[in-house]
Amino acid sequence: MQSLKITIKIALYLVIVAVIYIVILRFIDPGARWLYHNYITKNLVVEGKKAIDPDRKLSLGMYRPELPYHYDTVVAVEDSLDTKLKVISYYQAWGDGDEHQFNLDVVRNIAKGDYIPMITWEPWVVAFEKYKNNMADSSVALITAGEFDYYIHSWARQIVQYGKPIFLRLGHEMSNPWYTWSNHYGNTPEMYIAMWRHVYEIFQKEGAKNSLFVWSPYTAADSVFYPGNDYVDWIGFDIFNYGALSETGSWYDFSTLTSILYNNYTKYNKPMMIAEVGCSEFGGNKNDWYRDMFHLLTTNVFPQIKLLVIFDNPIGKTATGLDVDWSMTADEAVYSAIKSQVSMDQLNR
């Protein structure tokens, strides 16, 4: 009888402990985490505006297919140009798979190297299981309607937890037919602007003041998609010279390609970046093209451009499916051409 009473007491004790533990998990612990996030984590966030020194003439960044996991090419570029890169660029699609979630470990590793992450955040809504086999037409309307608010909030909260400056290129090249968020899929300028503002406002509500939203037009006519100065932190251009691989077979220099966009968007008085840049080797001298690009960007020809992100991708494609090597790092002659024209002191100021 005595042993039965002891057994019952132990069982009751375990039940009480289990109930208390469940209560803590369900109510107290989430509450504590909410308080910590809102009153401590948010206050430790470094404002994104401090990411790039406005007095610095030009900062450099890089995209490589192996980034942000392997940095051998980044180190080689820094050694060859005798300068320090500022930004590590990579791409993530929206979706509900693990690969679509914000990865704190990745951005923290980037920060350890004293780099700023830049994520091109691509709203492929068809990557969500619910819309996997559906048409993507007018997909940005789903975002504005709140269909993916849980996903956007999750990213914003984790970016707050990261706490350091980070660039976000949301829905870039909004008139490029390659992308389902473009106007070629029924997404009007008004719908795109509403989507952008909706995402931006969620980030503001979550306290993600370390996020820098980069608006990247595809053409000079994309002003109709501009969300407004209150919703954009930077403007980013994608500059590619396809040379003989283009539909016209024409070789265009960096100045010609950049001026078309730059002159149309200086009116917004925002800091600018070349968010992607590449030159093919067909139809002209690739080395000279890069040399001239660096010369123009370090001699105040485009004074609002403060960041250059090299699209160092050896396995690119043209719009018609032709292979194109965009890599700048494939040939030491490129470095030599750049160094012959540009003093690296101009990049280190």
Shared-domain flag, residues 59 and 37: no
| Whole-number Å distance between alpha carbons of 41 and 39 | 6
Structure tokens at 7: 């057994």
Shared-domain flag, residues 67 and 36: no
Mean pLDDT of 191-211: 97
E strands, 231-281, are 234-241, 272-279
Residue 267, pLDDT > 60, answer yes
Shared-domain flag, residues 146 and 31: no
Mean pLDDT of 318-331: 79
DSSP states of 175-221 as a string? T-TTSTTSGGGT--HHHHHHHHHHHHHHHHHTT-TTEEEEE--SSGG
Higher pLDDT, 324 or 33: 324
Shared-domain flag, residues 158 and 9: no
**Cα-based angle 224, 142, 199 (whole degrees, multiple of 5):** 65
Shared-domain flag, residues 24 and 167: no
Residue 343, pLDDT > 70, answer no
How many domains does one find in the chain? 2
Of the candidates 260, 169, 272, 176, the one whose C-alpha atom is nearest the C-alpha of residue 220 is 260
pLDDT digits (tens, 9 = 90+) for 110-125: 999 999 999 999 999 9
Domain of 250: which CATH number?
Answer: 3.20.20.80
Shared-domain flag, residues 27 and 163: no
Which range of 10-14, 45-49, 136-140, 238-242 scores highest in mean pLDDT? It is 238-242
pLDDT digits (tens, 9 = 90+) for 91-117: 999 999 999 999 999 999 999 999 999
Domain that holds residue 152: 49-348
Mean pLDDT of 148-164: 97
Shared-domain flag, residues 63 and 19: no
pTM of the model: 0.86
